[in-house]
Structure 1
């Protein structure tokens, strides 16, 4: 027994497995199934970045060498949202409903079921080496460490992603995905946190918010908030198709023209165009893209998504695609526009830039909601 390797493996916590089993998985990740499967070197490190997902406990990158070959893989521990450290923020009466809507087993089912075989050409999921149920409502997924290719997120790449998401949504004859009602977001965080803040005096009284949100934007945000239930009802009446659920660029890795989508915990049935919201908001929320880019990118991905739907055999007009995209993106990004997490940390240049960016995205979306009515 190698004590140093045992110490590394112990960093996996509840996901730890025996070294001989780990060596066999490492051999698969290295691309070989032959040889003695000798684990020569092992490292386990947390994947950088904060984990905000209620159903993700932790992410580790496991690497080293096996049979003389380098390997790298990801270990993701999923859990019931009832074990989320912030569960105290959720009223006790709503917690069981939360666990039903945010089903922690969705990602496990996605990787162990037939979903991969229904993906359109050019779209893939990570290779999964092991899914192991753990005591309590936990499970560990050992999967491929997907590497990003050199392709930049330019218009061509956004267009390709929009097309593949449309092909994915429109593929007929696949098993119905789980429900994840948009109304849950409205009845929870939106209704109890974001809308009350918008309708209060805080936006005017907080100088940081007031600097980002001019009176016209604030008036339009408040008008949107007061009509949010009507917009939800309209969304619920649109055609519903399968969606990745969190198709931000951070979850879409490209290489040689193909796209590998990770993080399938939000896979669900959603209004047409839903996935385009995160596709566009992801890099804006991360600060890698300015909100002005939406003017060129939004019509581009809407057209490509509609083309993907049609190529998959599902005919839905571009106008309906655009409306579904704009409304769903606005519900998630306008109601929360003036409530970034960083607000609790006080004034800073980063907070001011964050609010400026979110305000710019909200302005675009509010205008688009009017234009598509």
Structure 2
């Protein structure tokens, strides 16, 4: 069985000012996925990782492309900690693989600064500075004054933290390595199939650990109370993956980079920003409370790795 998938830049971008259109387009780099499937990445992936076969990749016009992909039957049952550990190890190998390395530029090579200039500067930070957000009846009980103050202190520290990330070692990243994009086939959780390459990029090492650990917290599928266990298990596994590909980043350096990326790509947006636009919060008040607990975990992690 085969699956046809199409990627397109939304025509809605044509009806907004140029600067905002560029930001919106950059937030969904749709050309990356066809580029990845045109490449020989499947032959370069570390043992234990694979990707669907692309039967055809067709440019439809200047704003869209079509993909004809192999169908992947998979096991969608809840992951165990052991599966997370295996995924973290394989993502570490992906990050440092010298064979994969030449293909890192198929996607973004400025993922941190690009995210700051786009989503953070134009959406997340202005909303975090709005008092209406913190007074919202869903937000106020979960993100109380202490947590709000810690988040805003992190916002104040952002220029320094981003400069620190500029010095972090780089690797190759899938870019959206949540469990839903890492498929186990035939009940074999030791071998995973990567899908959804739209955010493939060069990024600081440990980039993929953020979505691996946070993806199911964001959707309410997993409680934030499991983050400490996942952190303790996944970070060393990822580190071992780097080592096995010849990349010897010190574990403390990796943990600090991981903490910075968790703050930037999840911690600051853990608050359900959409409530200010009259949209429902993600799931329920219980999900919002879990996101607050996850934000606290991220801030604690950042504090525990604080650089001198």
Instruction: Please confirm whether the aligned pair reaches a TM-score higher than 0.5, indicating the same fold.
Output: yes
Q: Distance in 1 between matches of 2:30 and 2:124?
A: 25
Q: Does 1:181 align with 2:111?
A: yes
In the superposition, relative to structure 1, how do residues 249 and 358 fare at CA in structure 2: closer, same or farther (>3 Å)? same
Classify the secondary structure of the residue corresponding to 2:177. Answer: coil
Superposition CA RMSD, Å: 2.2
TM-score, with normalisation over the residues of structure 1? 0.75
TM-score by structure 2 length? 0.89
Aligned match of 1:323 in 256, 263, 285? 256
1:34-89 deviation digits (Å, cap 9, x = unpaired): xxxxxxxxxxxxxxxxxxxxxxxxxxxxxxxxxxxxx3x22111123xx3546756
Q: Which has the higher helix share?
A: 2
Tell me if the contact between 1:194 and 1:339 (Cα under 8 Å) persists in the aligned partners: no
Q: String of CA shifts for 1:188-235, please: whole Å, max 9, x gaps.
A: 221232222222212442222101111110000000111122211111
Residue 207 of structure 1 aligns to a residue in which SS? coil
Aligned to 1:244: 174
Contact 1:151 1:254 in 2 (8 A): no
Which of 298, 304, 308 aligns to 1:365? It is 298
Mean CA deviation greater in 328-337 or 236-245 = 328-337
Range with greater deviation from structure 2 (110-119 or 91-100):
91-100
1:218 aligns with 2:148: yes
- Residues 102, 180 of structure 1: 8 Å contact kept: no
Q: What is the CA–CA distance in structure 1 between the aligned matches of 2:75 and 2:223, rounded to whole Å?
A: 23
Q: 1:119 to 1:98 in 2, by over 3 A?
A: same
Q: Distance in 2 between matches of 1:359 and 1:306?
A: 28
Q: Could you give the per-residue CA deviations for residues 138-193 of structure 1, whole angstroms, max 9, x where no partner exists?
A: 11001122222266311000000000000111111531512142122222221232
Provide the residue aligned with 2:49 in structure 1. Answer: 123
Equivalent pairs, count: 299
Larger relative contact order, structure 1 or 2 (CA cutoff 8 Å, min sep 6): 2
Question: What is aligned with 1:333?
Answer: 266
Q: Which residue of 1 aligns with 2:66?
A: 140
For 2:136 and 2:74, the matched residues in 1 are separated by 40
Give, in whole Å, the separation in 1 of the partners of 2:175 and 2:65: 21
Q: Which residue of 1 aligns with 2:89?
A: 163
Q: 1:186 to 1:150 in 2, by over 3 A?
A: closer
Aligned to 1:307: 240
Cα–Cα, structure 1 residues 74 and 93, in superposed 2: closer, same or farther, change >3 Å? same
- Who wins on radius of gyration, i.e. which is larger? 1
The answer (yes or no) to whether the contact 1:343–1:351 under 8 Å persists in 2 is no
Q: Is the 8 A contact 1:340 1:354 kept in 2?
A: no
Which 5+ residue runs of structure 2 have no aligned equivalent?
none
Tell me if the contact between 2:206 and 2:257 (Cα under 8 Å) persists in the aligned partners: yes
Q: Which residue of 2 aligns with 1:79?
A: 8
Task: Give the stretch that moved more between structures: 97-106 or 126-135.
Answer: 97-106
